[in-house]
Structure 1
């Protein structure tokens, strides 16, 4: 590349010198002819000065003419190249994110400024299109999750108007209405939590505290649930001081413990471990429940994603719990992973730096 540039510079310099030589030679003969025609014999220095001035005038005029020509060509090129770009940006501003720049004049310009601009506009449109698709899917999921309990509540509320209902049937309908109301309330709380966590102005409030004591408090708070299913709970924690947002991480442990209890069969087993790994701390919770397929493991932390929608609905899940967990862990610059095998249980591992900046 350097040799090519040196060669191009040498050729350009040679052409420039040749051009100047031709111009000044021509002006020399032109001034000589002019003075001869007038019958004047000037001193050599005067004739040389006149030839030089005339040469400069010729060069300036030629440069001006070239600039005018190039300016017209540049304006034409700008209209031809920038016109489609401006049109595409206008469509994007109006909400059309499917627009792509494939104009013939714009092809093959990937290394030029125009080509870079074209690629940037196409990338912007593609990302906005993906965000719009995610937004539409999110709205659809929210609408479905809200409509489902409302439909049940409305249906069973109408059924309660029947005068021939037995006390058992009436109690059953009221229990369903209460359950669906709780699910709707939980969904609203989760949506508000996600909205708060997604806010750019939201930042965690890290303070040092004993993580091992927090984990044990969560397990004790959930004791009625795992005792009811006669689940064996094995908790092994090392004394661990963590600098993080205590309230936020409490939501993570509650969600993970509740999920483990929910999907572990009666008389099953849940194992919780908390230990140091280098400069990090790792929380692992393992159950011997129904497990998660490999295909579902790649999407389990997506919002509203349910590995088994019918089974989740029966258990009152909204598909937001793990999404909230991942968001909180991400805010603490940590990681959350799952390893599972269908029919053999699951392990969720959360790894966090001891100090969150």
Structure 2
């Protein structure tokens, strides 16, 4: 992953390199097209003036004259008729003469070394202390031909250097500024998109789709933000469904209670009818009470920081007690119960696990036909405990297996008005709180097998 810090360093270095490169290229062009020709022209003008003065000057005075010019900040090299090179002013670092330089002696030609000089460092050629980096002209003294080569000393060239430095700074600053503006826009764009998305979330509009495709912290933030928005949308829909389902599940028994309460007001009801209506009201009241308890249990389980009161207890004993409590329901439907419970101890919340076994056993009985069969087993393998409850009831369609653990989900709402659709959701939450596994296997028309896997410790 490319971090923002790493990107910033890379981009900054890239900007600096590009800026310096562009500045060097542009300054090179300025030097080539403006500064070097101007410097060449200035020195040529000085050389012409010196040449004119030398025409009327005695040979004996030439040496003193060249020394006086050198004191004005010039470097001068004079080729005498015998071929010797004499320097005035600061000595040249390089004094190798080219055939072109020697060839102007005695001719009305000009050597434009400043204009045509190429050294190893382009615009730094301006400061090359080389006799080839000069302007050269020929002159005569007492009918003898000479040539002199002249250039300004480096100390006097800083006005041109100042121009180069200022140009370099301005160009570099402009390139860096423009690049940083583009970079800032590139970095701010996803932040603005996140800002707009945040406003939508604040307005409870969770249908947010971000188009930020980055492989850095901003990309990670956008991905997590999108997940958060999707989760909020899911939770919002769950909340709405929850309210609708709770309203429906409460409304149905309340309407029944209200209806039968009104019927009881009729004085013409027989004693048998009154008892029947009261039993219905009692059943609906119990149904409301059970639903309320389940909702309260789910609400407490939703509080992730709610501690689970774990302790070590006998699981096989607990299962036997829950089976015994369901005995009358089994007898009522003439069902066969087979159980094989290995003596095991588990470290868990005893009350919560009691809810698990009650829900699973109730489902097995409720969705089995009369004279059906239920098999319950409990065994231990290594550090895990396996509890299975198997029935030969109506089973669950394959397409519904993934949804049966959802709250208020009913495979067929019409087949059982006694189910709230919360039982398996409660089982799932409790088992998850114990870091266990809850597995459902079922085949329509053949029965269902549920397995709860718990850790010993």
- Shorter-chain TM-score above 0.5: yes
1:292 to 383, 389, 396: 396
TM-score, normalising length: structure 1: 0.82
**Residues 3-18 of structure 1: matches in 2 within 5 Å?**
none
Q: Which runs of 5+ in 1 are unaligned?
A: 1-8
SS of 1:276's equivalent in the other structure is strand
Residue 195 of structure 1 corresponds to 299
Q: Give yes or no for contact 2:20–2:172 (8 Å, CA) kept in 1.
A: no
Residue 203 of structure 2 corresponds to 94
Residue 248 of structure 1 corresponds to 352
How far the C-alpha of 1:342 sits from its partner, in A, is 2.5
Residue 24 of structure 2 corresponds to 20
Residue 440 of structure 2 corresponds to 338
How far the C-alpha of 1:101 sits from its partner, in A, is 4.3
CA distance in 1, matches of 2:234, 2:202: 16
Task: Give the count of matched residue pairs.
Answer: 339
76-85 or 173-182, which deviates more: 76-85
TM-score, normalising length: structure 2: 0.65
CA distance in 2, matches of 1:67, 1:149: 74
- Tell me, yes or no, if structure 1 residue 323 matches structure 2 residue 425: yes
How far the C-alpha of 1:46 sits from its partner, in A, is 2.5
Deviations 1:17-43 (A, max 9, x none): 685376378569849839958985266
2:73 to 28, 31, 41: 41
Q: 1:291 to 1:80 in 2, by over 3 A?
A: closer
Q: Give yes or no for contact 2:359–2:424 (8 Å, CA) kept in 1.
A: yes
1:65 to 159, 167, 174: 174
How far the C-alpha of 1:194 sits from its partner, in A, is 0.3
Q: Give yes or no for contact 1:289–1:345 (8 Å, CA) kept in 2.
A: yes
CA distance in 1, matches of 2:207, 2:250: 30
How far the C-alpha of 1:305 sits from its partner, in A, is 0.9
**Residues 153-302 of structure 1: matches in 2 within 5 Å?**
153-302=257-406
SS of 1:196's equivalent in the other structure is helix
Q: 1:112 to 1:218 in 2, by over 3 A?
A: closer
Residue 449 of structure 2 corresponds to 347
CA distance in 1, matches of 2:441, 2:26: 80
Residue 6 of structure 1 corresponds to none
Q: 1:222 to 1:117 in 2, by over 3 A?
A: closer
Q: Give yes or no for contact 2:23–2:172 (8 Å, CA) kept in 1.
A: no
Q: Which runs of 5+ in 2 are unaligned?
A: 1-12, 47-71, 75-89, 91-152
SS of 1:291's equivalent in the other structure is coil
CA distance in 2, matches of 1:48, 1:240: 98
CA distance in 2, matches of 1:291, 1:20: 81
Deviations 1:61-89 (A, max 9, x none): 22222344345545666676654443332
Deviations 1:159-209 (A, max 9, x none): 111111111111111111000000001000000000000002213232222
317-326 or 71-80, which deviates more: 71-80
CA distance in 2, matches of 1:15, 1:89: 38
Q: 1:248 to 1:52 in 2, by over 3 A?
A: farther
CA distance in 1, matches of 2:306, 2:186: 47
Higher helix share: 1
CA distance in 2, matches of 1:21, 1:86: 42
Q: Give yes or no for contact 2:260–2:281 (8 Å, CA) kept in 1.
A: yes
SS of 1:310's equivalent in the other structure is coil
CA distance in 1, matches of 2:390, 2:362: 12
SS of 2:365's equivalent in the other structure is helix
How far the C-alpha of 1:53 sits from its partner, in A, is 5.5
Q: Give yes or no for contact 1:27–1:52 (8 Å, CA) kept in 2.
A: no
16-25 or 136-145, which deviates more: 16-25
SS of 2:247's equivalent in the other structure is helix
How far the C-alpha of 1:147 sits from its partner, in A, is 0.5
112-121 or 177-186, which deviates more: 112-121
